[in-house]
Amino acid sequence: MTEQSMPEVNAEFGAYPTIDFTGSAPQGLRVLELVEGDGPLVRKGDTVTVNYHGVIWGSDAPFDSSFDRHQPAGFAIGVGQVIKGWDMSVPGHNVGSRLLISIPPEYGYGSQGVPQAGIGGNDTLVFVVDIISTR
């Protein structure tokens, strides 16, 4: 059995994410706070502004990245506007935090995946998320 561990990621808030995979994807939803921010706490129902970089476990190429667009994204968190893995992992962290989130299919896009984005139904998603603001 291969060791299940989170990938290595550069821990500098605001820096373009580099993700280095070893081993197989961990079971379940996993969140690592790489940088602890000292801003306001994100609460369920807040509107957050984040920069994020999403890849399929083991892949170098992002399927979606606000870093690549040079445009942060904003949305309500914890209320079903984004995938369940985000709703469950972003609240409770402070503005200024960099998170590394591993999201299994059941908390991502489910067994149907998102074929047009190259996401299969069994793919574990990995996101690096910089929390810029909350209100």
In our burial notation (b when 16+ CB lie closer than 10 A, e otherwise), range 71-83 reads eeeeeebbeeebb
Q: What is the CATH number of the domain that holds 52?
A: 3.10.50.40
In a domain, 66, yes or no: yes
DSSP string, 55-83: EETT-SS-SEEHHHHT--EEEESSSSSS-
In tens digits, what is the pLDDT along the chain, a chain of 135 residues? 344 689 999 999 999 999 999 989 999 999 999 999 999 999 999 999 999 999 999 999 999 999 999 999 999 999 999 999 999 999 999 999 999 999 999 999 999 999 999 999 999 999 999 999 999
Q: What angle do CA 98, 84, 2 make, to 5 degrees?
A: 70
In a domain, 3, yes or no: no
Q: Chain centroid to CA 4: how far? A: 18
In a domain, 19, yes or no: yes
Nearest to 13 by CA among 91, 84, 72: 72
Count of structural domains within the chain: 1
Host H or E run for residue 93: none
Strand partners, 47: 76
Which residue is listed with tokens 């992992």?
89
Residue-number span of the structural domain to which 35 is assigned: 8-134
